[in-house]
Amino acid sequence: MKIDVNSIEAKALGLVNANLVAKIELINITHMRLGGYNARAYSRELQLSEFIRTQSIKGTWRWWLRALLSGSAWELGTSTDVDISGLTKSIAGSTECPSGLLLQLDRATTAETQLIIPYNALKQLAGLKGGSRRHFVVSTLPPRLGLSVMDERLSLEELEELLRVHKTGSLLIHLSVLTAPWNKLSDDEIRVAFGALLIALTLQGSGAMTRRGFGHFRVEKIVLGPKGQFLTNYVKASEALSGAIDELSVEQALSALAQEAIQSAKKILGRTPGGRPTGATIPPHPSLSFREGAFTLKVVRVNLTGETRSPELEKLRSLGLTQTDEAQLRLLSRLGRATLKLEWKKRKGLELYASGRDLHTWVLGLPRSHQATRERDVDTGYFLPPTERDDRPSPGRRVSAISLAPVKEVDRGEWLVATYGFLSYDWPETIVWLNGTRSPVSISTKNEVRKWFNEAFKTVTDYLGSGAPPVSPTRGQRLERSLH
């Protein structure tokens, strides 16, 4: 019996196409740092670059789906009666039950990771010590990335692993969304799930440091399949975002995308029995709701053309840094510096060593602290109070309430960046601020979270839109402690 392979392939393709919700074409618009088995984008030992996987996309997709459902439940007053976690699992799947929707990576470029700075510059970095190393790092690299290579004990090989990325425009990805054979999701459940996916791709991206601008996508095209013909409003919102030319039009397109998903989430929750007004003005968890400032969105034009190039960047240019790579370093550095207490002091006209007790950067995530490791050194920054009298304070861990998402470059050196934040109560009740010389300052997050969230959001957006200069060399020598 002769097997007709072509016929089998055609039938299989027909079955796939019949279950197609949509095809999404994506391209990375900022450097992407994907973590592999060693939490780095590249393994020198294996000579292998980490590549994007659907698992990492699914993780952010589920997070945004939960935020959508949580926000709508909070608005409807059902947040105390609805199991949001269970509802998220029923739509996106879990270890107990599969999702009714499947994500499939159809095709993607096979771009290798590349060094974020030229190799000759990397070799110079490996030999730098003390203040010279700190000065070089601060003047050339985004803060979070710079901190990862500050350790003088790192070898040239380790530095290479840490400083390799998928460069902007190198990843063209074709992602398919399909209904599973066992799918029992309603149209509204598919709507809210698809909306959460588009929001996750646009506002969060993939990989490490996405809250500070790395790893962001632009949706190039959406083609609806037979199972997704009712998703046309999402296509319109995506096309509006592609055609947006200023802050207002980008903000309107992103809001339209979110509102479409919120409407479907409310329809799903409206079928849930019970429910009563919560009376709370702040949600218990990050929730995508435009009510009471629970979710805040502002698009800022970031103009990099007025910045003076530092001598270190000039040196990188002489060593082979391209204009495109330099532009990325400038953008990602500006986004990262917008969250540093050191830069907040500078904008407020404070001295470098002035007290930072009234600048509440804990809103931008924990840990933000320096733990003493040497004699005569002291703990500084934000800590959780000790649980026992003799315990050492813990630096804690909590993601930033405010994120920065580059959306598009509208002109050479000018970017439209979506700044967004979630106001919620899921912070430690009390945080202690230490500066090593004065008595500890206790901060009640429950009572002050709205006040300091709003202050932090305004400070970050003002900084981004101000044409702020790079960190000066003197300030750069304090980078290790600038996060607190």
List pLDDT tens digits, range 433-464. Answer: 988 777 888 998 888 899 999 999 999 999 99
**Helix (H, G, I), strand (E, B), or coil: what is residue 49?**
strand
Tell me the C-alpha distance between 340 and 41, whole Å. Answer: 25
Amino acid 3: pLDDT: 61
Sheet holding 441-444: strands in order across? 369-370, 380-383, 430-434, 441-444
Q: What is the pLDDT of residue 2?
A: 61
Q: In what order do the strands lie in the sheet with 172-179?
A: 101-108, 172-179, 20-28, 217-224
Look-up of token digits 């771009």: 111
- d(CA 244, CA 56) in angstroms, rounded, equals 28
| Alpha-carbon span 191 to 135, nearest angstrom | 49
- Give Cα 252 distance to the centre of its chain: 21
The pLDDT value recorded for residue 471 is 47
Q: Which pLDDT belongs to residue 112?
A: 83
Predicted confidence (pLDDT) at residue 391 exceeds the cutoff of 80: no
Residue 373 has pLDDT above 80, yes or no: no
* Cis peptide upstream of residue 98 (ω within 30 degrees of 0): no
Q: Return the higher-pLDDT residue of 106 and 130.
A: 130
Residue 11 has pLDDT above 60, yes or no: no
Q: What pLDDT sits at residue 270?
A: 81
Closest to 205 in 3D by CA, of 193, 219, 217, 188: 217
Residue 363 and residue 456 in contact, taking contact as beta carbons nearer than 8 Å:
yes
Cβ neighbours of residue 131 closer than 8 Å, sequence gap 6 or more: 477
pLDDT at 72 over 80: yes
Q: Which of 195-209, 309-323, 363-377 is the least confident region?
A: 363-377
Tell me the Cα Rg of the chain. 24
Q: CA-to-CA distance for 221 and 198, rounded, in angstroms?
A: 11
Confidence of residue 352 (pLDDT cuts 50, 70, 90): confident
DSSP 233-298: HHHHHHHHHHH--SHHHHHHHHHHHHHHHHHHHHHHHHTSS-------SS-SS-----GGGSEEEE
pLDDT > 90 fraction of the chain, expressed in percent and rounded: 64
In terms of average pLDDT, the best of 92-101, 107-116, 470-479 is 92-101
Is 310 a residue whose pLDDT tops 80? yes
| Pair of tokens at residue 362 | 């804990």
- Between CA 392 and CA 379 the distance in angstroms is 10
To the question of pTM greater than 0.85 for the whole model, the response is yes
Q: What share of the chain is helix, strand, coil (3-state, %, to 5)?
A: 40, 20, 40
Contact 265, 242 (CB under 8 A): no
Q: Assign 390 a pLDDT band (cuts: 50, 70, 90).
A: low
Residue 323: band (very low, low, confident or very high) from pLDDT cuts 50, 70, 90: very high
Which residues share a beta bridge with 302? 415
Contact present, 419 and 404 (Cβ < 8 Å): yes
* pLDDT at residue 254 in the model: 97
pLDDT surpasses 50 at 483? no
Q: What is the pLDDT of residues 169-217, one digit of tens each?
A: 999 999 999 999 999 999 999 999 999 999 999 999 999 999 999 999 9
Q: What is the mean pLDDT of residues 341-355?
A: 87
Q: Tell me what pLDDT residue 141 has.
A: 96
- Going by pLDDT thresholds of 50, 70 and 90, the confidence category of residue 476 is very low
DSSP E strands, 109-224: 114-115, 164-165, 172-179, 217-224
H-state helical runs in 77-186:
84-92, 119-127, 130-140, 143-148, 156-162
Place of tokens 């190799």: 119
Higher pLDDT, 202 or 393: 202
Query: What pLDDT is attached to residue 7?
Result: 54
The answer to whether the Cα torsion of 341, 343, 347, 352 is positive or negative is positive
Rounded (10°) angle between helices 247-270 and 187-203: 150
Residue 290 carries which side chain, given as an amino acid letter? F
pLDDT band for 1, please (50, 70, 90 cuts): low
- pLDDT at position 34: 86
CB proximity list for 86: less than 8 A, separation 6 or greater: none
Q: What are the angstrom distances between the C-alpha of 63 and each of 91, 349, 364? A: 12, 39, 18
Of the candidates 342, 378, 360, 371, the one whose C-alpha atom is nearest the C-alpha of residue 442 is 360
Read off φ and ψ for residue 130, nearest 5 degrees: 55, -135
Q: Give yes or no for residue 294 having a pLDDT over 90.
A: yes
Q: Residue 86: which pLDDT band, with cuts at 50, 70 and 90?
A: confident
Band of residue 278 on the pLDDT scale cut at 50, 70, 90: low
| pLDDT band at 81; cut points 50, 70, 90 | low
Q: Distance between CA atoms of 350 and 348, rounded to whole angstroms?
A: 6
| Higher pLDDT among residues 446 and 129, named by residue | 129
